[in-house]
Structure 1
Amino acid sequence: MTLPVRSSSRAALGVIPWATLAVSVAGLAVAAYLTYEHFTAGTTLACPDTGVVNCAKVTSSQYSKVFGIPVALLGLLFFVGMTALSVPPMWRTSSPWPGRLRLIGVLTGVVFVCYLIWAELFQINAICLWCTVVHALTLVLFGLVIVRLALVPPAS
């Protein structure tokens, strides 16, 4: 049984796809910057490098790679995928696969963000401001996708 969607909810439903696209593009930009910094040894990393906030310490730690792949590059690939899945035609398609992939993507992203926050707080003992922006954008993206899914369940 589906409940009728009120007109105010319909307006919110129209905003969520655009919001996911905007958040994905913002994440893409920050992840591209971090990937560039990774491959140039962080020579222009715009972030403090002393004290608790220390981007250089975080981005050059043993936790900056997973299975030899730079975390920044994984973030870039994540946001490339989420951007592709957030363009308007992907929200309007009758295929269930874009929605499923979006959900799998954000769930994977949130699990990875939790791991990275754990690494920053308890292993590296430093926080990267740019990484925190990526974490926040991933969590916002997760929230948007989940809210949209709750308001408009997929067709069976």
Structure 2
Amino acid sequence: MSDTAQRSSQTSLGWIPWATLVVSIAGLAVAGYLTYEHFTAGTTLACPDTGVVNCAKVTSSQYSKVFGIPVALLGLGFFVGMTALSVPPLWRTSSPWPGRLRLAAVLVGVVFICYLIWAELFQINAICLWCTVVHGLTLILFALVIIRQALIPPAS
């Protein structure tokens, strides 16, 4: 890609760093809420507790922890990291590491939500609406990071 084409592409995609920051902060809020609910044994999930949509069933299942760590806390850690990696100056740095870490994080995030969706659909037989919001936000982050990586290669 020529310098002019790369600069034009960067200008037209300049909204992606801001979008990833906003999505990361939204994820931080939802994951923070789920973490709060987990540790307070809250019943305010604002989600039906009967039928297929049943947040309490999902968030208290054996799949709500991985190696003894609450999934909500892992999600909170993920979104803390993505928020830090999504601040616009880290998109503009000449170091390749923030971009590599951002890409690795969203790849791990997508693999993990695939596992969680499998658990909800085929093991728990219930869906948590709050968890689904986290899954959606993770997929949006994945798409934004991949689009940016694909269209604006790192500076050589």
Shorter-chain TM-score range: over 0.9
Q: Confirm or deny: 8 A CA contact 1:53 1:126 kept in the other structure.
A: yes
User: Match for residue 52 of structure 1?
Assistant: 52
Aligned counterparts of 1:43 and 1:76: Cα–Cα separation in 2? 19
Aligned counterparts of 1:79 and 1:90: Cα–Cα separation in 2? 16
Aligned counterparts of 2:29 and 2:7: Cα–Cα separation in 1? 35
Aligned counterparts of 1:5 and 1:70: Cα–Cα separation in 2? 42
User: Match for residue 73 of structure 2?
Assistant: 73
User: Match for residue 142 of structure 2?
Assistant: 142
Q: Confirm or deny: 8 A CA contact 2:10 2:152 kept in the other structure.
A: no
Fraction of identical pairs, as percent: 85
Q: CA deviation at 1:6?
A: 7.7
Q: CA deviation at 1:46?
A: 1.2
Q: How does 1:1-150 map to 2 (within 5 A)?
A: 2=1, 4-5=5-6, 7=8, 9-150=9-150
Aligned counterparts of 1:103 and 1:96: Cα–Cα separation in 2? 11
Amino acid at match of 2:116: L
Q: How many residues align?
A: 154
**CA deviation vs aligned residue, 1:67-116 (integer Å, no higher than 9, x gap):** 00000000000000000000011111111100000000000000000000
Q: Which runs of 5+ in 2 are unaligned?
A: none
**CA deviation vs aligned residue, 1:16-74 (integer Å, no higher than 9, x gap):** 00000000000000000000000011222111100000000000000000000000000
Aligned counterparts of 1:153 and 1:94: Cα–Cα separation in 2? 12
Amino acid at match of 2:14: G
Aligned counterparts of 2:91 and 2:10: Cα–Cα separation in 1? 14
Aligned counterparts of 1:96 and 1:5: Cα–Cα separation in 2? 17
List 4+ stretches of structure 1 deviating above 3 A. Answer: 9-12
> RMSD of the TM alignment (CA)?
1.2
Amino acid at match of 1:91: W
Q: Secondary structure at the match of 2:37?
A: helix
Q: Which runs of 5+ in 1 are unaligned?
A: none
Aligned counterparts of 1:23 and 1:10: Cα–Cα separation in 2? 20
Aligned counterparts of 2:7 and 2:84: Cα–Cα separation in 1? 29
